[in-house]
């Protein structure tokens, strides 16, 4: 079955390896679209012996074919966007304005937002943010005082909006006896940066409408993870945007007409990316966390440190209670399971199948999760999955484990990743196979 639209989201707390999966699926895509978040997310991609680090530019940039859209739901730090584009061009990738479009409606992150992020973290409730100014920029956006990418093209209008924005925030700085970054510096740096970004700014919200009307193959790339969703995650220990698949429709935006063409099955396939275990960075509950030698071993083997912040991630067995919740809320059709190889060599592999005394369909808010006592079921361990790319070559216990994840979440196993490279990926779903035109499934 050919489905032209795939929405990929993180199905845990971020860092699931979405970048690698999106790169893998990009080869035959016409568009790859980022639809939320900002440079809080970071991906490391290993392709053809090269390592690429991405923050904002969609992970389809390494594949030659797709065009790229940084959609309206994203917040952008113009300086880091220019740096990223420069680095990618230096690495030999095509990042021309014909290829990369940036929505005029996307929000702008300014130095004042980063400082506000830091103030909130050090003087208010600590969320453990990435410190990139993401939350304050989204707050300004819904507070209707935000600056959008398109506004940068009108210098006088930008300066007036900036002044109003400063006026709004000055009392916070005054309260703590602090001074915001000088407004003149922000204006001067924008004067330098905007001419470089201007050709990328896309005024039309109809880009995807037209593309999808012409049956374009579109891959939507989510950032962070569903358990960090601003509404349904472990609030307030969440990021500031919607991280569930529905956000792709508004944060691209996607064409609703394309969504309607569903006679032959789902026209927007929703793919949840999950590691074979769990990690979380920042504050907030994580019931399956292991504060023991096993947790440490997963962290060491998996090099679980943030791409953007370098912070150590908390590690534990995969949490199926959370994954079921996400599968249901996100309407997931399939799972891409990454980092299976990191679990090689354990005598037993655990799966959190429930929380003591918590009903199966309970709402997983921060309160429930912070008190939850995990119930683990153990599978026989395995070895030797690194870089395996065929289902029948996986050890039987690993296959049993993977099948259990799919059955318990009522999804199909779509992809399994056993290493960082494109080659160490197996395709187990017809939809995925058709989208990236691979026959790997049948090899």
Tell me which residues are annotated as active site: 15, 43
Q: How far is the CB of 79 from ligand IMP (least distance, A)?
A: 17
Beta carbon nearer to ligand IMP, 91 or 308: 308
The answer to whether 330 contacts ligand IMP (rule: CB under 6 A) is: no
Report the C-alpha gap between 171 and 228 in whole angstroms: 29
For residues 331 and 259, the answer to whether their CB atoms sit within 8 Å is: no
Q: How far is the CB of 49 from ligand IMP (least distance, A)?
A: 25
The answer to whether 77 contacts ligand IMP (rule: CB under 6 A) is: no
Report the C-alpha gap between 319 and 276 in whole angstroms: 9
Q: What is the CA radius of gyration of the chain?
A: 21
Part of the chain binding ligand IMP (CB under 6 A), chosen from 54-62, 121-129, 162-170, 266-274: 121-129
Residue listed under structure tokens 């819904």: 142
Assign 425 to helix, strand or coil. Answer: strand
Beta carbon nearer to ligand IMP, 240 or 418: 240
- Angle CA 15–19–20, to nearest 5: 105
The answer to whether 130 contacts ligand IMP (rule: CB under 6 A) is: yes
User: Can you read off the two tokens belonging to residue 384?
Assistant: 């030797």
Long-range contact set of residues 197-200: C-beta below 8 Å, sequence gap at least 24: 197/78, 197/81, 197/82, 197/102, 197/149, 197/152, 198/152, 198/153, 199/97, 200/85, 200/97, 200/100, 200/101, 200/102
The answer to whether 59 contacts ligand IMP (rule: CB under 6 A) is: no
Report the C-alpha gap between 109 and 389 in whole angstroms: 41
Give Cβ neighbours of residue 244 (< 8 Å, ≥ 6 apart).
Answer: 9, 226, 229, 232, 326, 329, 330
Part of the chain binding ligand IMP (CB under 6 A), chosen from 102-110, 129-137, 188-196, 419-427: 129-137
Beta carbon nearer to ligand IMP, 313 or 324: 313
Of 134, 226, 342, 436, the one binding ligand IMP (CB under 6 A) is: 134
Instruction: Give Cα separations from 315 to 150, 312, 358, 371 (angstroms).
Output: 41, 9, 22, 18
Query: DSSP secondary structure string, 112-152?
Result: HHHHHHHHHHHHS------SSSHHHHHHHHHTT---BGGGG
The answer to whether 338 contacts ligand IMP (rule: CB under 6 A) is: no
Beta carbon nearer to ligand IMP, 71 or 354: 71
Q: How far is the CB of 368 from ligand IMP (least distance, A)?
A: 18
> Residues 222 to 261: which contact ligand IMP by CB under 6 A?
224, 228, 237, 239-240
# residues contacting ligand IMP (CB under 6 A): 19
The neighbouring-strand residues paired with 285 are none
For residues 166 and 183, the answer to whether their CB atoms sit within 8 Å is: yes
Of 33, 63, 127, 273, the one binding ligand IMP (CB under 6 A) is: 127
Beta carbon nearer to ligand IMP, 33 or 41: 41
Beta carbon nearer to ligand IMP, 130 or 417: 130
Q: How far is the CB of 223 from ligand IMP (least distance, A)?
A: 6
Beta carbon nearer to ligand IMP, 110 or 194: 110
Q: How far is the CB of 390 from ligand IMP (least distance, A)?
A: 30
- Which residue number is nearest to ligand IMP in terms of Cβ? 282
Assign 363 to helix, strand or coil. Answer: coil
> Residues 135 to 174: which contact ligand IMP by CB under 6 A?
135
> Residues 261 to 290: which contact ligand IMP by CB under 6 A?
281-282
Part of the chain binding ligand IMP (CB under 6 A), chosen from 124-132, 161-169, 199-207, 362-370: 124-132
The neighbouring-strand residues paired with 336 are 273, 415
Part of the chain binding ligand IMP (CB under 6 A), chosen from 131-139, 336-344, 370-378, 423-431: 131-139
Residues of this chain that interact with ligand IMP (CB under 6 A) are 13-15, 40-41, 127-130, 132, 134-135, 224, 228, 237, 239-240, 281-282
């Amino acid at each position: 079955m050919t489905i032209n639209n795939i929405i990929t989201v993180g199905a845990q707390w971020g860092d699931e390896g979405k970048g690698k999966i999106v790169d893998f699926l990009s080869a035959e895509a016409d568009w790859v679209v980022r639809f939320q978040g900002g440079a809080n997310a970071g991906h490391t991609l290993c392709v053809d012996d090269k390592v690429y680090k991405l923050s904002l530019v969609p992970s389809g940039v390494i594949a030659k074919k797709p065009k790229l859209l940084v959609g309206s739901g994203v917040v952008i730090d113009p300086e880091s966007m220019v740096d990223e584009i420069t680095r990618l061009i230096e690495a030999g990738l095509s990042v021309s304005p014909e290829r990369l479009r940036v929505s005029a409606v996307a929000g702008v992150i300014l130095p004042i937002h980063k400082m506000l992020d830091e103030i909130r973290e050090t003087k208010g409730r600590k969320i453990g943010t990435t410190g990139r100014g993401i939350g304050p920029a989204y707050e300004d956006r819904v507070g209707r005082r935000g600056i959008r990418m398109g506004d940068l093209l009108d210098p006088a209008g930008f300066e007036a909006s900036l002044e109003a924005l400063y006026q709004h925030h000055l009392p916070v700085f005054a309260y703590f006896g602090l001074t915001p970054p000088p407004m003149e510096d922000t204006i001067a740096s924008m004067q330098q940066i905007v001419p470089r970004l201007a050709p990328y700014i896309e005024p039309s919200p109809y880009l995807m409408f037209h593309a999808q009307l012409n049956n374009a193959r579109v891959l939507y790339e989510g950032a962070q993870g569903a358990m960090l969703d601003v509404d349904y995650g472990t609030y307030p220990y969440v990021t500031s945007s919607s991280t569930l698949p529905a956000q792709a429709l508004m944060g691209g935006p996607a064409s609703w007409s394309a969504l309607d063409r569903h006679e032959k099955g789902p026209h927007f396939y929703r793919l949840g990316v999950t590691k074979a275990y769990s990690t979380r960075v920042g504050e907030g509950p994580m019931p399956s966390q292991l504060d023991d030698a096993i947790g440490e071993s997963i962290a060491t083997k998996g090099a679980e440190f943030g791409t953007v912040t370098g912070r150590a991630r908390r590690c534990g067995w995969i949490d199926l209670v959370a994954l079921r919740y996400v599968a249901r809320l996100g309407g997931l059709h399939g799972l891409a399971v990454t980092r299976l190889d990191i679990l090689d060599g354990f005598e037993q592999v655990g799966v959190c199948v429930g929380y003591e005394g918590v009903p199966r369909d309970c709402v997983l808010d921060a309160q429930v999760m912070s008190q939850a006592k995990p119930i683990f079921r153990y599978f026989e361990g395995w070895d030797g999955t690194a870089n395996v790319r065929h289902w029948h070559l996986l050890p039987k216990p690993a296959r049993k484990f993977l099948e259990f994840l799919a059955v318990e979440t009522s999804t199909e196993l779509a992809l399994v990743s056993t290493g960082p490279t494109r080659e160490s990926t197996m395709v187990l779903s017809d939809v995925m196979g058709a989208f990236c035109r691979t026959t790997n499934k049948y090899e």
